Amino acid sequence: MGKSKILVLGATGYIGKYIAKASARLGHPTFVVVRPDTTAVPNSARKVLLDSFTAAGITILHGDLGDHESILAALKQVDVVISTISITLIADQLKLIDAIKEVGHIKRFLPSEFGVDVERTTDLPALQAIFKPKAKIRTALRESGIPYTFINANNFAAYYLPTLLQEGLEAPPRDKITILGDGNAKAIYVDEDDIATITIKSVDDPRTLNKQLVIRPPTNVLSFNELIEIWEEKIGHKLEKSYVPESTLRKQLDELPFPNFIYPAVLYSIFVAGDEYFELGPEDAQAIELYPDFEYKTVSSLLDKFV
């Protein structure tokens, strides 16, 4: 039957560009939707990115989630839809669900997630303000009858590893480090290209249909304390450690206004509450079991570039 034709929404965003390029690299006819003004500034970063899409054989379409007709026109050209839109636009995916229902032939929709399981997060107001909108999209998608796959990709390695969560740094620290909570919560780090490749592998896989695909390479499941030990071994000495108590972090979350609490709330969820590491259930499919020959980049190898 050939490989599915894939539409990526949010392709100029952080994870979206990896997804779009992986789709093309793995042989899928690939389309992205961008606003008409995206290419208006010559030599801008987005224009350069879109030129790289064109060079990779990706078809660029103009449109916007607020323009129903443009989205319908894009959907009519594809089989699979992957949304990577930003957290501020999550609710707009309800319009996308309506459009997918209208065209009637889309065989898989992957909504914008790619992080923690939004239905298994700690019940704190700040966290729920972030994750409830995504959970509502899951509910709407299930009720719509549209085939889906949720991607539980955990931590973007290139986002967290270069500074080990230390503000103001451009490389991992070599003298002292601040640890959130006690540093014992397990977190999972996955290279962005690996996330993108596994995501694209899943779109035509019947084993991931109406499932959550959990990307959890065993070598990259580490507590923050274990992560520090790997770094200390690479630089040949111990770091001076200080800790921010969980009670202090929770107080900060209660006092910060929206949207200022988004980043610290996500850090709390991952590195203190341990929301990434949960017991898998019948609706979870494990990437390491479905694609056993895939070789993930390890945390250790990703840290080597900073030594």
d(CA 62, CA 78): 15
Would you please indicate which residues are annotated as catalytic (active-site) residues? 134
Burial of 142 per CB tally in 10 Å (0-12, 13-18, 19+): exposed
Rounded to 10 degrees, the C-alpha dihedral 189/194/196/197 comes to -150
Q: At what angle do helices 125-144 and 93-103 cross, to 10 degrees?
A: 10
Q: Is residue 228 within 8 Å of 303, Cβ to Cβ?
A: no
Beta strand 221-223 with 186-190 is antiparallel
Q: Which of 7, 5, 20, 79 is nearest to 197 (CA)?
A: 20
Q: Which of 214, 222, 220, 187 is nearest to 291 (CA)?
A: 214
- AA identity, residue 173: P
Burial of 43 per CB tally in 10 Å (0-12, 13-18, 19+): exposed
Query: For the chain, how many residues are written?
Result: 307
Buried b (16+ CB within 10 A) or exposed e, 188-198: bbbbbebbbbb
